[in-house]
A and B are shown apart, each in its own frame.
Chain A
Amino acid sequence: MTGADERHFRGRQPGAVNHALEILGAIARGGPVVTAREISAMLHMSKATTYRILSHLVQEEYVVRSPDLTGYLLGARVVGFAELVAAQSVGDTHQEESTVPVTSSAGTKPPPGVDPA
């Protein structure tokens, strides 16, 4: 996303959604386990905002805490999206050979809230 696109996005969408996506990206890029303070520093976001959004993402299971409770990892709901995207890529390569929906061809279950159709 370019700077102009980002400004456009910020201008039209609620800031919290943008922050949540940035946090998800930071966790994905940050390695296996990232702490809330690292995320806050990485994104130049206030600690209170970071904790609040992380808490919401944990509640919705997009993010989970590490067993010692100090860090965060991407959660099972994100895995569902990742598998769908990966399966979509696999499906694209065989597009001319098969018209079966990618969710079925990959044998994966769609994440909660995602319509398999």
Chain B
Amino acid sequence: MSVRDHTAPRPGLPIGVSNGLVGLDRRVLPFSSVLAQAAAGAMPAAMALSTPSLLGRIVGPGAWLSVVIAGAVMWLVNLTLRQFSTRVASSGSLFSFAAQGLGPAGALAVAVCMLCAYGTLASYGLVQSSEYLPRLLDPSGPRPSVDPLNSVLVVLMFAALCFAIMARGVRRAGRFTLSVEAITLVLLALLLGLSVIERGSVDLQALSVAGADPGRVLSGVMAMFSVFFCIECAASLSAESAQPFKSVPRATSIATAAMVSLCLASLLVAAPQSAGDAGQHGAEHFWFPEAEHHSLLAFAIVLVRLLCNLGSVLAVWTCLSRLVFTCARSGLLPARWGGTDPSVRTPVAALVVTAPFVVGPAVVLTLASSDVRWAEHQVLGASNIAFFLMYAMTCLAAPLFLRRIGEDLWSTTAIAVIASAVTSAAIVWTVVDEWRGGRVLSLATIAVLSVVVAGWRFAVLHRGRFGLTAIGTHDATILSDVHVPADPVTREKPA
């Protein structure tokens, strides 16, 4: 018997030479690219620049409490998602996780929430990019008035750029995203450093609780949740990651910790009490009220925001395409949407299918201009609810999944239940807030999504459309991954 024969598969084992995600560029992405994907989804540099003015308006004194409380909750969500990402490698991210614990109905609901949340975020990123590009020419001047048609051209240009990068394969896209995130974080470090030098010292009063109003702190927590959304972005690259069970949970944890740390650092550097200036004079005056060279600093700030939005579109669109790919491979969508390009091993069909959902709303919002910009905020409200829903359901799925595979512990169950309860409470808070604010479009969006879930479920589960195979198809172990011991009875020693 040869050396190979000792590692031959045992007949009858349910392990194939490939799995349901065959066609993807399996196990190739280095940790740096996975981390870049996680960071790009959460946009740490842009969010750190925005947090002081945002919390200054909403919270005032004690703003740091909002960051810490929201960060703690998101850490619980991260710990719960970790229970999945250390066990399941799948391109479907939370959809595949929910499928493991909640079954088809829950998985479908999470998939629809993801489509809504990621689609909105990618569209919003394109709109923001189209706004920041012309501002690079005169960054410290007033916001330029751009013809909506020109803005649409910029949106289309950015969309085409992102599509081209993603269609060239996950490795190239990963390297590009890594470069973008590295540039933004270096620029952020420079900006924060310069700001500290200009102010002369860090304002430790920002860490005081004097004058903090609990109600406003809670409002700040809700605002910070939306800042921390998308920390799970790296999970979409599980199947393509070189070491998915190591890289993905680590990248998600680092992204979450980095978001909280950078937001706290920016609060320390920029005293939130001066937030009122931001709206009147622009971001560069907020960060550098005494600087003489505002245009250069303003250029850096606008560039950070532009690049962060571009990176976010890349990351979120990648998530969206991998979700559609996984749904198609599971039999929830037409099978041809799960096709991959054999040369670059990327789900190009899913990229094409998702393009209208990313570009369409962005074009509509850009053409609508500022007169109906309220629609943008309402759609973002719906996106927030969708994010909370998918987190709450996935956290609920975790203990059920662990119980199913016989690996449940009271500690992991407790963390998952707390995370699910808090995110569910956030849903209630957001819905009430939207209702009180008269933002009925977001609530209507959620109602439409519920109908979509019901219709999809009916079509797939009852009518058997698309040929349902296995909801939540994941990158299951294949023969090349394993060593199966030979039958002890027939085992022979090497000659």
Alpha-carbon distance A70/B100, docked complex (angstroms): 11
Alpha-carbon distance A107/B321, docked complex (angstroms): 41
Instruction: Choose one: A60, A68, A75; the contact of B481 (CB below 8 Å).
Output: A75
B483-A82 in contact (CB<8A): yes
Quick one: closest B residue to A81, CB to CB?
A: B483
Alpha-carbon distance A58/B416, docked complex (angstroms): 22
The B interface is mostly helix, strand or loop, or mixed, namely loop
> Among residues 444 to 495 in chain B, which have CB atoms less than 8 Å away from a CB atom of chain A?
476-477, 480-485, 493-495
**B307 CB to nearest chain A CB (Å):** 32
**A89 CB to nearest chain B CB (Å):** 5
A13 at the interface (CB under 8 A from B): no
**B79 CB to nearest chain A CB (Å):** 13
**A33 CB to nearest chain B CB (Å):** 7
B405-A69 in contact (CB<8A): yes
B483-A75 in contact (CB<8A): yes
Residues 21-37 of chain A, each 1 if its beta carbon lies under 8 Å from chain B, else 0: 00000001001110111
B3-A60 in contact (CB<8A): no
A90-B3 in contact (CB<8A): yes
Question: Across the interface, which residues of A come within 8 angstroms of B16, CB to CB?
Answer: 67
**B425 CB to nearest chain A CB (Å):** 29
A87-B3 in contact (CB<8A): yes
Instruction: Choose one: B14, B411, B482, B493; the contact of A68 (CB below 8 Å).
Output: B14
Question: Across the interface, which residues of A come within 8 angstroms of B6, CB to CB?
Answer: 82, 86
Question: Across the interface, which residues of B come within 8 angstroms of A61, CB to CB?
Answer: 243, 481
B373 at the interface (CB under 8 A from A): no
Instruction: Choose one: A35, A69, A76, A78; the contact of B87 (CB below 8 Å).
Output: A69
Instruction: Choose one: B7, B246, B482, B484; the contact of A60 (CB below 8 Å).
Output: B246
What's the interface size class on A, roughly?
35 or more
> Among residues 20 to 65 in chain A, which have CB atoms less than 8 Å away from a CB atom of chain B?
28, 31-33, 35-37, 47-48, 51, 55, 58-61, 64-65
**B15 CB to nearest chain A CB (Å):** 6
> Among residues 87 to 116 in chain A, which have CB atoms less than 8 Å away from a CB atom of chain B?
87, 89-90, 93, 106, 108
A18 at the interface (CB under 8 A from B): no
B495-A90 in contact (CB<8A): yes
Instruction: Choose one: A67, A73, A93, A108; the contact of B484 (CB below 8 Å).
Output: A73
Alpha-carbon distance A45/B494, docked complex (angstroms): 34
**B485 CB to nearest chain A CB (Å):** 6
Alpha-carbon distance A93/B7, docked complex (angstroms): 21
**B477 CB to nearest chain A CB (Å):** 5
Binding site for A on B (CB under 8 A): 3-4, 6-7, 10, 13-16, 19, 86-88, 100, 243, 245-246, 404-407, 409, 411, 476-477, 480-485, 493-495
Binding site for B on A (CB under 8 A): 28, 31-33, 35-37, 47-48, 51, 55, 58-61, 64-70, 73-76, 78-79, 82-83, 86-87, 89-90, 93, 106, 108
